[in-house]
């Protein structure tokens, strides 16, 4: 059996957040079917589109985050084709002059970094939404004209794992920039997948097949693996891969032929005559850069290199911008970043998952959080006490600092700890005999000490003194 190298390119369409649509004043957002529309959206004769400045700003912000070369003059083109969800008979898009070109992002797959190159990212308008029923279809024009940013990768990925890592990185860029909510289940981010296979002993890419409109990342992974298998079986049997567009049948887990591949020349692109060129000034770009937050990749590197946080914990903290912002607010009050990370990743996220809550539901002020972490770092409360304090605060929605103060200081006095250990020895003579007879009961004795003190003793100091007292027996 021959070996094949899969090559994957992704076209990601993401709806941008804005008050109005890309070329009209209609509302961008949810509403009663066919209520958010205007004559521009549904293609009345004589319509004149007007460019949405906010959509341009957010598109430029994404292009900068993707390390793209930025266009000097913004222009739009018409992509001509007929389909019921395209009321004008053409789509206003960017073909000759995309808003950003030659970009890249860094992804991490199994601990190794990879550079995924971006061919371009361009701003266009979304189509209407169609519901296909058994014998007819319905069209909702609310979606027609919503700002849509299409980001086209180069064919440079070679597994479904790489593709998902890239998609997650791209989605987080949209979320960090607040450019989009990027909710796949609401159709706000959709993916076209291009897959080809080439023999290991050949340098030429195989014939590519496109699979359209996949709206969940889990399905993207499934589609890539199914299509690779389909193409491999064709090639192994001596067949030929045809350049075509397919869709995914989720019920039968297979890709299905839609149409022979339409090349770009068939769309008859030409410059949109109703939108003049718009100069992108250096001042506009500088302001956008100034307003951009630190993104996931940069934050992750900072957490690892500056704070000594592990890669896994840093990746967990930065995967959600709200969580990362909360973490940074907490440590801004002076507590140790690594201690804070350990509590958030090792305890807080587990609590939230168990109780089906998100970070936005946490009602603990950042300064209070920081002060409680400091109490643990200073030895005033133990790690176990800290977790109990957090649990009580979250369960009962009470002020965490008050609970921490009521819990009392951790016992760290050596003399007091030594007296407690001796009391435990006296109360448990059989366990002490077991120790003298060579049994490993130190952990059990430590548990008795913690129980006797309700977990208030300093654990590391207690372990040290316990070892000294056991040596005397």
Average pLDDT over residues 316-340: 96
The per-residue pLDDT for 409 is 67
pLDDT digits (tens, 9 = 90+) for 419-434: 999 999 999 989 888 8
Q: Is the dihedral of CA 349, 351, 356, 358 positive or negative?
A: negative
| pTM (global) more than 0.75 | yes
pLDDT in tens, 235-275: 999 999 999 999 999 999 999 998 886 555 578 899 999 99
Give the span between the Cα atoms of 388 and 256, in whole angstroms: 55
What pLDDT, on a 0 to 100 scale, did the predictor assign at position 265? 56
CA dist., res. 1 & res. 466, Å (int): 65
Residue bearing the bigger pLDDT, 452 or 77: 77
pLDDT at 253: 94
Over residues 276-294, mean pLDDT: 95
Of 54, 38, 273, 229, the residue nearest 144 (C-alpha):
38
Q: What is the mean pLDDT of the chain?
A: 92
Percent of the chain with pLDDT over 90: 72
What local confidence, expressed as pLDDT, does residue 263 receive? 57
Longest dimension (CA), the chain: 98
Q: What is the pLDDT of residue 50?
A: 96
pLDDT of residue 111: 85
Q: Is the pLDDT of residue 204 over 90?
A: no
In this predicted structure, what is the pLDDT of residue 185? Answer: 87
Task: List, for residues 453-463, the tens digit of each pLDDT value.
Answer: 877 787 778 88
Instruction: Give every CB contact of residue 226 below 8 A, 6+ residues apart in sequence.
Output: 248, 253, 254, 255
| pLDDT, tens digit, 9 for 90 and up, residues 391-410 | 989 998 889 988 887 776 66
**Cβ-contact 62, 26 below 8 angstroms:** no
> Distance between CA 371 and CA 367 in Å, rounded?
6
DSSP symbols for 100-144? EEEEEEEEEETTEEEEEEEEEEEEEEPPPEEEE-SS-EEEETTST
In the chain, where the domains are located:
4-286, 294-407, 414-472
pLDDT band at 2 (very low <50, low <70, confident <90, very high): low
**Whole-angstrom Cα distance, residue 340 to residue 86?**
51
Pick the CATH number of 414-472 from 3.90.1150.10, 1.10.357.10, 1.10.10.410, 3.40.50.300: 1.10.10.410
| Range list of H helices, 143-281 | 160-176, 217-236
**Which residue intervals of 197-295 are DSSP H helices?**
217-236, 282-291
d(CA 328, CA 368): 14
Query: pLDDT tens across 58-107, in order?
Result: 999 999 999 999 999 999 999 998 888 999 999 999 999 999 999 999 99
C-beta separation of 100 from 120 below 8 A: yes
Report the pLDDT averaged over residues 431-456.
87
**Is residue 225 a contact partner of residue 176, using CB atoms and an 8 Å limit?**
no
Of the CA atoms within 13 Å of residue 7, those in its CB half-sphere come to 16
Q: Is the dihedral of CA 420, 423, 427, 432 positive or negative?
A: positive
pLDDT band at 40 (very low <50, low <70, confident <90, very high): very high
The confidence band for 411, taking pLDDT boundaries of 50, 70 and 90, is confident
- CA distances 85 to 93, 127, 166, 341, 353, Å, are 15, 6, 29, 48, 40
pLDDT at 471: 85
Average pLDDT over residues 331-346: 96
- Residue 412 is predicted with a pLDDT of 74
Q: Which two tokens stand for residue 378?
A: 């200073």
Mean pLDDT of 193-207: 91
DSSP annotation of 36: S
Residue 246 phi, psi (nearest 5): -130, 165
| Residue 305 CB partners (closer than 8 Å, separation 6+) | none
**pLDDT tens, residue by residue, 355-380:** 998 898 888 999 999 999 999 888 78
How many angstroms separate the CA atoms of 305 and 299, rounded?
Answer: 10
- How large is the C-alpha radius of gyration of the chain? 30
Q: What is the mean pLDDT of the segment spanning 152-180?
A: 97
Checking if the pLDDT of 108 tops 80, the result is yes
Look at residue 3 and tell me whether its pLDDT is greater than 60: yes
Output the CA torsion sign for 31, 35, 39, 41.
Answer: positive
């Amino acid at each position: 059996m021959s070996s094949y190298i899969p090559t994957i390119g992704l076209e990601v369409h993401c709806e941008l957040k804005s008050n109005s649509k890309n070329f009209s004043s209609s509302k961008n957002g949810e509403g009663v079917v066919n209520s958010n529309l205007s004559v521009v959206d549904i293609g009345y004769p004589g319509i004149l589109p007007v460019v949405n400045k906010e959509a341009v700003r957010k598109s430029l912000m994404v292009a900068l985050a993707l390390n793209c070369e930025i266009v000097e003059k913004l222009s739009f083109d018409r992509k001509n084709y007929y389909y019921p969800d395209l009321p004008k008979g053409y789509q206003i898009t960017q073909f000759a002059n995309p808003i950003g070109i030659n970009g890249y992002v860094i992804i991490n797959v199994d601990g190794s970094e990879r550079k995924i190159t971006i061919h371009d990212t361009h701003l266009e308008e979304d189509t209407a939404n169609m519901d296909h029923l058994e014998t007819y279809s319905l069209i909702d024009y609310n979606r027609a004209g919503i700002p849509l940013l299409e980001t086209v990768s180069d064919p440079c990925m070679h597994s479904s794992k790489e593709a998902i890592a890239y998609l997650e990185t791209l989605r987080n860029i949209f979320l960090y920039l607040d450019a989009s909510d990027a909710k796949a289940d609401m159709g706000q981010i959709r993916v076209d997948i291009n897959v080809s296979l080439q023999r290991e002993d050949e340098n030429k890419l195989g014939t590519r097949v496109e699979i359209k409109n996949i709206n969940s990342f889990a399905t993207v992974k499934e589609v890539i693996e199914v299509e690779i298998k389909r193409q491999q079986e064709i090639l192994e049997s001596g067949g030929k891969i045809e350049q075509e567009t397919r869709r995914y049948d989720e019920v039968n887990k297979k890709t299905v032929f839609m149409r022979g591949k339409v090349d770009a020349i068939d769309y008859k692109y030409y410059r949109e005559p109703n939108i003049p060129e718009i100069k992108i000034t250096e001042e506009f770009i500088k302001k956008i850069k100034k307003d951009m937050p630190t993104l996931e990749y940069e934050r992750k590197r900072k957490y690892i290199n500056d704070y000594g946080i592990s890669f896994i914990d840093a990746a967990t903290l930065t995967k959600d911008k709200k969580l990362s912002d909360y973490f940074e607010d907490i440590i801004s009050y002076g507590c140790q970043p690594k201690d804070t990370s350990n509590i958030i990743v090792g305890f807080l996220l587990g609590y939230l998952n168990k109780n089906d809550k998100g970070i936005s539901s946490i009602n603990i002020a950042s300064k209070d959080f920081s002060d409680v972490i400091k109490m643990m770092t200073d030895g005033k409360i133990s790690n176990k006490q800290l977790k109990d304090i957090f649990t009580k605060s979250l369960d009962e929605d009470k002020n965490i600092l008050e609970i921490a103060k009521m819990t009392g200081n951790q016992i760290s006095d050596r003399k007091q700890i030594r007296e407690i250990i001796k009391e435990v020895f006296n109360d448990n003579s059989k366990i002490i005999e077991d120790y003298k007879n060579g049994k490993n009961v130190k952990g059990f004795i430590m548990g008795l000490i913690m129980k006797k003190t309700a977990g208030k003793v300093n654990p590391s100091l207690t372990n040290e003194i316990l070892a000294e007292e056991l040596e005397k027996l």
